Amino acid sequence: MSGYIHASREGDPVHTVRTIGRLAQMIIELRDEYVARPRPDLLVQIDQRVTDLIALQDELRARMADAAQSHQE
C-alpha cells in the first residue's frame, strides 16, 4: 500500500468512515488509559465518543443512501 491518500469531499462516505476510524482509535486509547488508571472523567470521555459514533452511524446511513441513489441515476 502506498502512502498516498485519496482526497475526499465533506459529503463523501469516505470522510465519515475515516472519522469513525479516528473515534474508534480514540476509544481504544481511552480504554487503555482507563484500565491502567480508572477515573470517572475517562468514563465520561468514553461515553461521549460512543455518542459521537452513534451520530456518525446515522450520517453513514444517509451517505450510503445518497450513494446508492447516485449510482441508480
pLDDT in tens, 10-54: 567 899 999 999 999 999 999 999 999 999 999 999 999 999 999
**Where do the DSSP E strands lie in 1-73?**
none
Judged against a pLDDT cut of 50, whether residue 73 lies above it is answered with yes
Question: What burial letters (b/e) apply to 14-26, b meaning 16+ CB within 10 Å?
Answer: eebeeebeebeeb
Task: Tell me what pLDDT residue 20 has.
Answer: 96
Residue 23 per-residue DSSP state? H
Task: Tell me what pLDDT residue 12 has.
Answer: 76
Task: Tell me what pLDDT residue 4 has.
Answer: 45
- What's the predicted TM-score (pTM) here? 0.76
Task: Tell me what pLDDT residue 66 has.
Answer: 84
Alpha-carbon distance values, 2 to 5, 22, 64 (Å) = 8, 20, 27
Q: How far apart are CA 57 and CA 66, in angstroms?
A: 14
